Structure 1
Amino acid sequence: MGARLSVVYITKNAGQHFDRSLASVAHIADELLVVDSGSQDDTLMVARSTGARIIERSWPGFAAQRQFAVAAAENPWVLMMDADEILTEAAAKAIRNTFLIGEPAGVAGYLLERRSFFHGKEICYGDWAHDRVLRLFDRRCGAYGESLVHEAWETHGTVEQIPGCALHHYSYANYGELLHKMCLYATLNAQQVHQRGKALHAYMPMTHALAAFWRGYFWRLGFLDGMEGAAIAWTTALGAFMKYAMALELRDCDRQ
């Protein structure tokens, strides 16, 4: 008998790709679980149409919400999905074959390749390329870290990669969404730096911004992605600048 798998989402106004995301995992999920924090669009209607189990819960933060969702799942093996991610057919088949004969032996999780798309094209270079994310895991062997943003599953077991297993990530519809999300992440990152008491200096916003742009646009060849590559590199650099500028601001407020 094969191992059972829970596919888990945390949502709020999931957006235009949610129905396709659910459809991409429906035939490998023994359970579909959606933990929603106050959606005002058709997110819950879309989830109900697939037979997903829905839990409505106020927003405690990214890591805490994901940890709650993992704990609420019925099965020990969990595939954590975002509403703007679509599992490829090849990936679904690979996961199904992996779990067909039972729980994987000696493995606590699997990395999935994540390919990001922006303006209808795949981003092949820069900071978004060659991304590997730990999304398929045994919940008995780890937990989510306490980061305010870019939270990740931390396991104390062996991690492998299933060949050909990829997620397609459709995160931003336009430049406005890209800029809006950068502001959100920069704010959360600044709060995190402040909470951790990291030493800060006045030069850090500029040096981190310049380093981020150089890394993404030149070192990782982001310029080969054209206008989209430039926008991603500039936005990442601006996010780095604002992260440390706001962290300095928070520090100075505490000193007054």
Structure 2
Amino acid sequence: MSDDRPSDTTLPFAERKTEDMPGHWLLARLGKRVLRPGGRELTEHLLDDADLAGADVLEIAPGLGKTAVSILERGPRSYTGVDDDPAAVTLTEKVVGARGRVVGGDASATGLDDTSVDVAIGEAMLTMQSDRGKAAIVAEAFRVLRPGGRYAIHELAVHPDTLDDEEKTEIRKSLARSIKVNARPLTELEWRKLLTDAGFEVETVRFTKMALLEPRRVIADEGLGRTLRFVGNVLRDGEARKRILGMRATFTKYKANLAAIEVIAVKPDTVA
């Protein structure tokens, strides 16, 4: 009987040991499908606010292809996914089928033409980049968007804005140790500045709790049946269970200072 885990060979980083695997791909290996900090609910808000009907849509780093399904349900004119991991491209291609295309490419160099899309979407990927990497990806989104186009992101934020640098560094280091990715979440003001420095105008900001591993959020995101299978997989894998409990402990420790953030930014009709 299947334990609802994708074959290791279909997952990015599948060759890595459990102790070294990035947290989001470890969760995916164990059967979790919704890997965004604000869960399914914030993703749905993000896509509604981005106004996808009839739009040419670019999804940057679609991963497992979970959000691609919701994008396609909203009737875009076209869908293009760009991911630098061949396994992620394969996974999303299976989801998208003939309804769009998925290509290999870097988030900061997608290979798309200038002003060729109406909406660019990215979730939980800018957080994992350095300051320079964030700026390069945002600049690429600005380049490929048409005037009036929308850049929709769903990321991890630290708050309040008044946190000092030492506190932010402590949170970022703890996250990096836990999830095995050099996570660098920003405050709301820092996310706004990143986007406005690239030429965008921030239109919409939403927050929700970062409760990725809280039971109520897991059930809401995955459904009861998939949640029970996910929990069973965790219980059967001692090394994975240790990692998951460590991640959850980190999220709990800093729950007062972590949140999921949605931002919709618009490329002005007239670019200076």
TM-score category of the 2 structures, normalised to the smaller one = 0.3 to 0.5
TM-score (norm 1): 0.33
Higher relative contact order (Cα pairs below 8 Å, separated by 6+ residues):
2
Larger strand share, 1 or 2: 1
Give 1 or 2 for the bigger CA radius of gyration.
1
TM-score (norm 2): 0.31
